[in-house]
Structure 1
């Protein structure tokens, strides 16, 4: 339940997740190259790794990484010290700017699931009243528990659909 509440905190949760991903990827790439800054080629590999982690860790559809041309254009706006390379601070800002729309889509999908699912649950509970046998059992379940069960089932269904794609 704590993870769900963390995810509802919105921007802070997203920033925390992006920071975890960026730190891990930056450390991995800089350790392989032995340098503290990333060149364009290393940066593009880092972008691919970040999008791979986003697609693994965050709920929602698969997001494709941006093309090389977009990454090249963004380097110019995020390279604050104008050395042609991206350091850790610039990398975090670069990834935040690059993934803003992706993370908004993830958040909207999560909120939609958590708002629509309980509404659908209550509608289906009402619809089962006339079903012999099942209707009486469903009506005995408290609304809060029934809505939680249907929401959980919907989230698990979405997750299984994402994994099969």
Structure 2
């Protein structure tokens, strides 16, 4: 019964839901007077999306793409065209954040590697005190350190590629 009523009201339930979400997002940027306010509104949208949707996180588009969208948005003559530009920007530029395979492999391999390293280090006389560190603290600490190292090395490599 609900599907019939929604079809009679002007479209599918999915399209009505998408229209509601885009209308809500558009209210964030509607009153932007300059590029900084527009970018802050875009960041607010992504912050609310990432905090309200459990498990899903979306990447914010680069500043250059936001700047281009703002320039197109600012040149638009009326509010309907501005809304269409904004909806197209969100549809084209919003991407789901995906974990790369190196990070996934590190997260899986780090705990057993940390346990093996701790067992091996317990036999070395110079670092025998590692026996005093409980496994409950050592394994998660080493896993977080490994993930931090992978993330930092990846960002440093991307910075070298960008320059």
Please give the TM-score of this superposition, normalised by the length of structure 1. 0.43
Please give the TM-score of this superposition, normalised by the length of structure 2. 0.43
Greater radius of gyration (CA): 2
If asked which structure has higher relative contact order (CA below 8 Å, sep 6+), I would say 1
